[in-house]
């Protein structure tokens, strides 16, 4: 896997964009990072997993996945050895990371709230919440 192939897979996910931080490229959905390239060096990518997902992937493919060696690693941030990962495995890991980061509405196939026109009417959930509070 090359950095270009990682980038192409990361950007193939719905509404994914490329940005940068810390001197390396990152991949975002809804403005939040779910993957990056180049940390700790150009031979690695990173995916934002849950600790349980991280444990599963590290246990199943320890030559590919390793927790980041800092506090972020304890939260599930996981390095991917680009030379060792195949496309299907990386696509799976990137999809998990994207799902962990994307807004619920986007995951359900809807446009994110930030791309819709705002309505001056109150949502039904908000109205119910106000009514419940008024009764208490």
pLDDT tens by residue, 53-88:
999 999 999 999 999 999 999 999 999 999 999 999
| 99 half-sphere exposure, CB direction, 13 A CA radius | 10
This prediction's pTM: 0.77
> Which are the contacts of 42, defined by CB distance < 8 A and separation ≥ 6?
3
Query: And the tokens for 37?
Result: 């390239």
- CATH code where residue 67 lies: 3.90.1150.30
The residue ranking higher by pLDDT, 44 or 113, is 44
Give the H/E segment covering residue 32: strand 32-37
List, in sequence order, every residue forming a beta bridge with 2; answer none if it has no partner: none
Residue 100 domain boundaries: 3-135
What sign for the dihedral angle of Cα 51, 53, 54, 56? positive
Q: How many domains does the chain have?
A: 1
């Amino acid at each position: 896997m090359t950095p270009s192939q990682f980038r192409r897979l990361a950007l193939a996910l719905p509404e994914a964009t490329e940005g940068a931080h810390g001197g390396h490229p990152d991949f975002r959905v809804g403005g939040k990072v779910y993957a990056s390239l180049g940390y700790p060096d150009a031979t690695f990518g990173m995916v934002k997993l849950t600790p349980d997902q991280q444990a599963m992937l590290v246990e199943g493919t320890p030559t590919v996945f390793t927790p980041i060696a800092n506090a972020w690693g304890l939260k599930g941030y996981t390095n991917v050895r680009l030379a060792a990962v195949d496309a299907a495995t990386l696509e799976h890991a990137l999809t998990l990371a994207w799902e962990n980061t994307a807004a619920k509405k986007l995951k359900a196939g809807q446009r994110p709230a930030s791309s819709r026109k705002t309505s001056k009417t109150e949502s039904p959930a908000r109205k119910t919440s106000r009514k419940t509070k008024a009764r208490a």
